Amino acid sequence: MKQKFEKENYSKSLREPNLLTKEYIFQIVKVLENRGLKIKEITPDKVRKLGRSENLSRLPIFIVKGGKSWQGMAVGFPGNTEGLTTSNVGTPFLRILLYPMLELFQDINEKHLDNGAKCLYMFGVRFPDVFVRKFNLLRLLTPNLIIVTNDVLKTIRNSPYDIDRHCGGEAHESRYQHEICKVMDSDKGLPVLTSTGQIAIKYISHEVQTGEGTVKPERLDILGVDTNDKSLVVFEIKGPSCGDEQFKNLFFQGLEHLVWIEKNKMAIKLIKEGPKGNMINTKKRARLILGFQGEKVPPIFYSLRNVLQSKDKYMRIDFVKLALDNKGITLTSIK
């Protein structure tokens, strides 16, 4: 029977054991354990004995080990995508969890991790932007906040060969996306001449679900990694059939996804290769590449890039021309 939700029903539902599914939380746990983390759940009684909030004790709490830079505490939010919405979970409930989470994180740090806790994790099927804004307050007070959702779990494990490249004919964006991903997935990766020199980009995923959209989650076209410095590469493209307004929106679309990837790169590394992998270096800043057809870059793109780089010397944004023929994809740097 379909569960009915109403404002603040989430906190009430937590009082009834097994009413809210924990399936998605344990899917995340299983993947991260397969990547090398050791994750142990704390019983609700133990959380209560530590003198923490009754509301917090109703959420699955885990101690995470398996690498000094990755150990810490995880908080799971049971429920499906319908349950974890702002119409069901009110912001007052989220706010009253924040301080108890910090206290419990401190207790676990002292009693179980020898004052070496580095990460506070949040597990759930999907978190609306309101949730993320509240969680981001904890980002200011803990060494690392890592939000892992099933949306990211699914899309980081995409294959470059599952793109419907025939949809819409030769001019359709998916054909360009498929060819770029295919070259990225080759032994040498995708060569791109950037403002900082020649790099080779290896494939991580495509259609990566990022922030909340009005109807469906936002999606990043292509995610790669620079084999030179092991930084993540956000690759946004527009095919020849896109309109003028869509084309001009490319810069802001790419920038938005770059910001999201920068905040979530530790989660991406965990899902893709685990804490001991050497493909991705999370200490390196992600970079943005915007690809499109045509010889000219809109002047506003240069202006926007200049403003961003004047405020942030580590900001890296490059423009490339895309050309597709029967031999494959060709990328030409546009300065």
pLDDT at 141: 92
The total of structural domains in the chain comes to 2
Domain contains 202: yes
191 and 128 within one domain: no
Between CA 300 and CA 260 the distance in angstroms is: 23
Residue 328 counted as domain residue: yes
Q: Is 162 within the bounds of a domain?
A: no
44-53, 63-72, 107-116, 202-211, range with the lowest pLDDT: 44-53
Tell me whether residue 3 is in a domain: no
Asked whether residue 17 falls in the same domain as residue 100, the answer is yes
Question: Above 80 in pLDDT, residue 163?
Answer: no
**pLDDT value for 200:** 97
Mean pLDDT value of segment 107-116: 94
Query: At 4, is the pLDDT very low, low, confident or very high (cuts 50, 70, 90)?
Result: very low
pLDDT in tens, 199-247: 999 999 999 999 877 778 899 999 999 999 999 999 999 877 676 777 8
Give the containing element (helix H, strand E) for 193: strand 190-194
Same domain, 188 and 326: yes
Q: Are residues 111 and 24 in the same domain?
A: yes
> Parallel, antiparallel, or unpaired for β 72-76 and 61-65?
antiparallel
Residue at 165 is within a domain: no
140 in the same domain as 68? yes
Residues 142 and 188 in one domain: no
Tell me which of 120-124, 152-156, 203-207, 312-316 is least confident: 152-156
Confidence of residue 166 (pLDDT cuts 50, 70, 90): very low
Which residue would you say has higher pLDDT here, 89 or 7? 89
Type of residue numbered 214: T
The residue ranking higher by pLDDT, 169 or 195, is 195
Is the model's pLDDT at 52 over the cut of 80? no
The answer as to whether 164 is a domain residue is no
pLDDT at site 168: 47
Whose structure tokens read 């009110």?
90
164 pLDDT band (50/70/90 cuts)? low
Do 218 and 119 sit in the same domain of this protein? no
Asked if residue 192 and residue 150 are part of one domain, the reply reads no
Residue 44 sits in the same domain as residue 91:
yes
pLDDT band at 171 (very low <50, low <70, confident <90, very high): low
The pLDDT, as a whole number, for residue 175 is 87
| Domain that residue 287 falls in | 173-334
In a domain, 160, yes or no: no
Where residue 215 sits, what CATH number does that domain have? Answer: 3.40.1350
Q: Is residue 2 part of a domain?
A: no
The answer on 181 and 133 residing in a single domain is no
Mean pLDDT of the 312-323 span: 95
pLDDT, position 51: 62
Do 21 and 125 belong together in one domain?
yes
- CB burial of 13-29 (b: ≥16 within 10 Å; e: otherwise) equals bbeeeeebebebbbebb
- Average pLDDT for 276-286: 96
Q: Return all residues near 232 (Cβ < 8 A) that are at least 6 apart.
A: 204, 223, 224, 225, 226, 261, 265, 268, 280, 284, 286, 287
Residues 225 and 191 reside in one and the same domain: yes
